[in-house]
Structure 1
Amino acid sequence: MADTAPELVSLRVERKDHVAEVTLLGPSKGNAMGPDFWRELPQVFAELDADPDTRAIVLTGSGKNFSYGLDLPAMMGDWAGMLGGDSLAGPRTEFLGTIRRLQAAVSSIAQCRKPVVAAVSGWCIGGGVDVIAACDIRLASADAKFSVREVKVAIVADLGSLQRLAGIIGEGHLRELALTGKDIDAARAEKIGLVNDVHADQDAVLAAARELAAEIAANPPLVVQGTKDVLGHEREARVADGLRYVAAWNSAFLPSKDLGEAVAAFLERRPPKFSGA
């Protein structure tokens, strides 16, 4: 596969035989999602959507992990106004815009007309789960671990997991994961339907994802795109409504002492002590 778009920092795009492979690069540890990622993700998927030679996409992570999720220290600039003691209409409105921008970045995967197969190894946390929930098919290696962890850092998950996962794993499993923030392994992920199949290791899951994408790409491209469009018609309308609601909820209620405590505990590498304030 030949590299394209060398100006990208957080993603690598390679194309071969009608299949594009998008790899998360970080640059933060564990492919954590910082400002570069949120800027580049919708750009990449818009370009792949418009590329007539691309018929299917594989999405994976570099190194041992898919993604640690949101790069909290790198994103603190967008949150600074919300963490002050007097975040009134101005800071809240700006934060609402930030949430909507990040939501749109994740939704660019679901809205891309080309089917996307996620190949997950190692940790897939928070924003990583948002991203794979927006994909069409998910595969995992045996060492993969998943966590809808936002509740543990005093955040209502707002980038699509709560809206998309119900249709993938069902309400009961979603509520368990979202309300506890627990980690689950690849075997549990397969059992509840979060991933279709589990493969022995990272090389094996990537090979399986490439094979599946090639199988999709061999079909009539306009029919494949039409099938994805029809399958997503009801869901994406419902998801869009849920995303608007959670963006408004978080811009109103996210500022809290517990959020400040969660951020401080993360930066100081200690367990948080939540007070409910």
Structure 2
Amino acid sequence: MSLTVEVSDHVAEVTLLGPGKGNAMGPDFWRELPVVFGALDADPEVRAVVLTGSGAHFSYGLDLPAMMPRWGEVLAEGALAAPRARFHDEVRALQHAVTSAAACRKPVIAAVSGWCVGGGLDVIAAADIRVASADARFSLREVKVAIVADLGSLQRLAGVIGEGHLRELALTGKDIDADRALRIGLVNDVYPDQTAALTAARATAAEIAANPPLAVQGTKDVLGHEREHRVADGLRYVAAWNAAFLPSKDLGEAVQAFLGRRPPEFTGQ
């Protein structure tokens, strides 16, 4: 429903389909992502993975209208322990979905065009290599909708772009263009258009796939050993933090402002 997979010459190409606008990530995506990457990890014919989005954009991120009904009871004022525990389990499941890309033993190359927002940024942070087209735009936007980002960007991007750049993106929720992404190391290279970026990602995947597969997988495992232990601890902490503190009047205001297409008015409650 939300992803397609094509395999050719030991390279798998995974394409986000949505079905939300701009490949927004709804329930189907979160259910299917770990299934797809689990299968690619187990497939001996696959040696590298290209991850990209259909249409003009990589992903608008979390499909809030589709996901909010699942969280209604914990967002209600005065939510008790049971709904908070269920919400904690939901966050952990979403975290597992993103981690499936990082845990896949086959290197993942993300090719980004157009918008890559929120959950989209979480997913490409779990990739090994990122390339972009000149029109790409990135945003760690959760703070603007009264959410602490909890799916891996806060844990994984420090090692990619450094603490200062990460704190700037996370605390402001600002958008950055492909040139800025290149300067801070979020992407390895920028190409003129979507076709060129995807072609470059495929070429890198083919180059990786031509190497001895066990050596490649061992290299990825060793490179990720220290980071993923640290990431796992951070993910557990933020899941507990959000289960305790996410429900707020500001979050409700953010959702209503989003649905009403108006600026939010936050009160700190």
TM over 0.5, shorter chain: yes
TM range (shorter): over 0.9
Corresponding residue of 2:41: 49
Q: Which amino acid aligns with 2:94?
A: L
* Aligned-partner Cα distance in 1 for 2:19–2:91: 22
Residue 180 (structure 1) aligned to one of 157, 172, 196:
172
Corresponding residue of 2:163: 171
Segments ≥4 residues shifted beyond 3 Å? none
In the superposition, the TM-score normalised over structure 1's length comes to 0.97
Corresponding residue of 2:108: 116
Corresponding residue of 2:73: 81
Corresponding residue of 1:6: none
CA RMSD of aligned residues (A): 0.4
* Aligned-partner Cα distance in 1 for 2:70–2:158: 29
Residue 90 (structure 1) aligned to one of 45, 61, 82:
82
Q: Determine if the alignment matches structure 1 residue 246 to structure 2 residue 225.
A: no
Corresponding residue of 2:141: 149
* Aligned-partner Cα distance in 2 for 1:176–1:85: 31
Q: Is the deviation greater in 96-105 or in 261-270?
A: 261-270
Displacement after TM superposition at 1:141 (Å): 0.1
Q: Percent identity?
A: 78
Q: What whole-Å deviation, never above 9, does each CA across 1:199-250 have from its counterpart, x for those lacking one?
A: 0000000000000000000000000000000000000000000000000000
Residue 212 (structure 1) aligned to one of 187, 197, 204:
204
* Aligned-partner Cα distance in 1 for 2:96–2:147: 18
* Aligned-partner Cα distance in 2 for 1:254–1:187: 33
Q: Which amino acid aligns with 2:162?
A: G
Q: What whole-Å deviation, never above 9, does each CA across 1:94-145 have from its counterpart, x for those lacking one?
A: 0000000000000000000000000000000000000000000000000000
Q: Determine if the alignment matches structure 1 residue 21 to structure 2 residue 13.
A: yes
Q: Which amino acid aligns with 2:30?
A: W
SS for the counterpart of 1:146 is: strand
* Aligned-partner Cα distance in 2 for 1:137–1:88: 42
In the superposition, the TM-score normalised over structure 2's length comes to 1.00
Displacement after TM superposition at 1:183 (Å): 0.2
Q: Determine if the alignment matches structure 1 residue 193 to structure 2 residue 185.
A: yes
Residue 55 (structure 2) aligned to one of 51, 60, 63:
63
Displacement after TM superposition at 1:76 (Å): 1.1
